[in-house]
Amino acid sequence: MLNWYLAHCRPREEERALLHLENQGVECFCPLIEVKRIIRGKRIVRNEALFSGYLFLRANLKETSATTLRSTRGVRNLVRFGEEFCAVPDELIFELMCRTGDPRLGDKLSDLPSAGDKVSIHSGPFAGMEAIYQEADGDNRAMLLITLLQSQTRGSFANTDFTRLPE
């Protein structure tokens, strides 16, 4: 099963590790942030790793050997607690991608509704009804505007209970 893991990199070699891991076909993510610095009297803006010395990689450790990943140029080791490698939740990686503006999010976010979109409820007591997406209500729920008895009512629904209708 594919999981996200945390890799500890050699000092200032996150880019090298990222390049070599991607050449091996491993999906990687190194969150970057813009940092403004004054170098030799000039203000310079550059992208630096949010977690200096670390990057996230997605692999199935039953198919890909941890030794192969560990011996990749730029990688020092995979983070682990005792004998178990530290699996990072998908939600955390998704949240980091959102906050850093990762370009890979375009495909993942295109299916999510935005305020005012029509959605179809496919499970629960209101299955088969249409509603209007209002806003997110936490990480796993959303507020929908639903018409009941000729009046509009707001309700909280699980994100898995509805899908966006095509326009």
pLDDT digits (tens, 9 = 90+) for 44-95: 999 888 899 999 999 998 888 889 999 999 999 999 999 899 899 988 888 8
Lowest mean pLDDT among 11-20, 123-132, 135-144: 135-144
Which domains are assigned to the chain?
Answer: 3-156 (3.30.70.940)
CA distance 83 to 125: 46
User: pLDDT tens digit string along 131-151?
Assistant: 999 988 877 788 999 998 888
pLDDT at 107: 57
Give the pLDDT score at 110: 55
Confidence of residue 17 (pLDDT cuts 50, 70, 90): very high
Q: If we measure between CA atoms, which residue out of 117, 108, 106, 107 comes closest to residue 143?
A: 117
Q: What is the dihedral of CA 99, 139, 90, 87, to 10 degrees?
A: 110
* Banded pLDDT at 165 (limits 50, 70, 90): confident
Residue 79 makes CB contacts below 8 A (sequence gap 6+) with 5, 6, 7, 8, 54, 85, 86
Residue 163: the pLDDT is: 86
CA distance 37 to 15: 20
